[in-house]
């Protein structure tokens, strides 16, 4: 684990994990308390949503307030398309309500997001254009949300190719990469609904690849979220606390 030194450019990678993404807010709280300045940020899936708010100057308290009552019904609408059950356009609108109709180039902190071209299977790093569209693409979980058309590509969740977005930070020039991995060993609880079945299946397929990706980072924050599920927003406060406590534990070792 690398020590954080002054004058080094720090990149923050926020991984995917649906509602578990609330833990990212606790990590942001710990980073603030340790006076760690983030020079670059990258997000995948729910990490893209949180990173967008952070890159446009929202504090962890403000992000907590914005996401406090967030659930799949708030950010989704039933879709008639065969390529997905739901549309996540409401998520894009929620983002625009809080940071405006803005582009990547306008961010206070340089930001990138990871999505997947569902036609070719290629990783797509989004760092230009409309922020809300980028978030919608990166959070578009296959089979749940309708794919997002952007720059002549049909895009879905970046977790398929890079659930913890390390590579964009390297390309942006980060000297030190702090990564937050929400992928966890689940307690043996039965999924309670079809959305949870799809999400759990999705996360299982990412596990090995994510371990390889996070092996490259300097500082890994991986809270134990095994007691939580991926859809119940009522867990948010506890998830934030879990993220905060684990981030604080790790950051005390490197600062």
Q: Give the residue numbers marked as catalytic.
A: 45, 157
CB 23 within 8 A of CB 243: yes
Phi-psi region of 35 (alpha: psi -120 to 50; beta: other; left: phi over 0): left
CB 61 within 8 A of CB 33: no
Under DSSP, is residue 45 helix (H, G, I), strand (E, B) or coil?
A: coil
Phi-psi region of 162 (alpha: psi -120 to 50; beta: other; left: phi over 0): beta
CB 56 within 8 A of CB 84: no
Residue keyed to tokens 């708030």: 74
Strand (E) or helix (H) holding 236? helix 236-254
């Amino acid at each position: 684990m690398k020590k954080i030194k002054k004058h080094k450019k720090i990149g923050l990678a926020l991984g995917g994990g649906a509602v578990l993404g609330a833990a990212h807010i606790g990590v942001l709280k710990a980073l603030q308390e340790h006076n760690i300045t983030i020079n670059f940020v990258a997000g995948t899936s729910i990490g893209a949503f949180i990173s967008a708010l952070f890159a446009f100057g929202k504090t962890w308290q403000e992000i907590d307030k914005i996401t406090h009552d967030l659930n799949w019904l708030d950010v989704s609408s039933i879709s008639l398309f065969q390529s997905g059950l739901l549309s996540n356009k409401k998520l894009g609108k929620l983002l625009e309500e809080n940071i405006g109709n803005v582009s990547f180039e306008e961010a206070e902190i340089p930001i990138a997001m990871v999505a997947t071209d569902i036609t070719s299977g290629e990783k797509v790093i989004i760092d230009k254009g409309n922020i809300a569209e980028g978030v919608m693409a990166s959070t578009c979980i296959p089979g749940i949300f309708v794919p997002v058309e952007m720059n002549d590509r049909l895009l879905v969740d970046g977790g398929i190719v890079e659930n913890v977005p390390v590579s964009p930070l390297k390309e942006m020039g980060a000297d030190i990469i702090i990564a937050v991995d929400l992928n966890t060993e689940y307690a043996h609880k039965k999924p309670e609904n079809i959305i949870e079945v799809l999400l759990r299946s999705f996360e299982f397929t990412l596990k090995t690849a994510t371990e390889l990706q996070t092996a490259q980072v300097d500082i890994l924050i991986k809270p134990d979220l095994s007691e939580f599920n991926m859809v119940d927003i009522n867990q948010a406060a506890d998830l934030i606390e879990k993220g905060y406590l684990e981030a604080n534990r790790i950051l005390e070792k490197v600062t």
